[in-house]
Amino acid sequence: MAQESLLVSAFYLLVFTAVLITYRVLRGPTLPDRVVGLNTVTTKVVVIIALVSVMREEYYLIDLAIVLLMVNSVGGLILAKYMERRGRSGT
Amino acid sequence: MGPEVLVLLFGEAVMVFGALGIIRFPDVYTRLHAATKCDTGGAMSIILYLVLTMDAPALVRAKFLVLAFLIAMMNPMVSHAIARAAYRYGVIPKVVVDMYAWDNP
Check A24 against B22: CB less than 8 A apart: yes
Check B22 against A36: CB less than 8 A apart: yes
Q: Which residue of B14, B17, B22, B28 is the best one to mutate when testing the A interface, meaning the one whose CB has the most A CBs within 10 A?
A: B22
A80 in Cβ contact with A38 (< 8 Å)? no
ipTM over 0.90: no
Q: Choose the closest CB to B85 out of A32, A40, A44.
A: A32
Q: According to the model, what pLDDT value does residue A45 have?
A: 94
What is the DSSP code string of A58-87? -TTHHHHHHHHHHHHHHHHHHHHHHHHHHH
pLDDT (average), residues B22-49: 90
B52 in Cβ contact with B10 (< 8 Å)? no
Distance in angstroms (rounded) separating the CA atoms of residues B38 and B7:
14
Calculate the average pLDDT of chain B.
88
Gyration radius of chain B over CA positions: 17
Find chain B residues with C-beta within 8 A of A24's C-beta: 22-23, 31
Please state the pTM of the whole predicted model: 0.88
Of the two residues A1 and B30, the one the predictor is more confident about is: B30
Q: Choose the closest CB to B89 out of A13, A39, A86.
A: A86
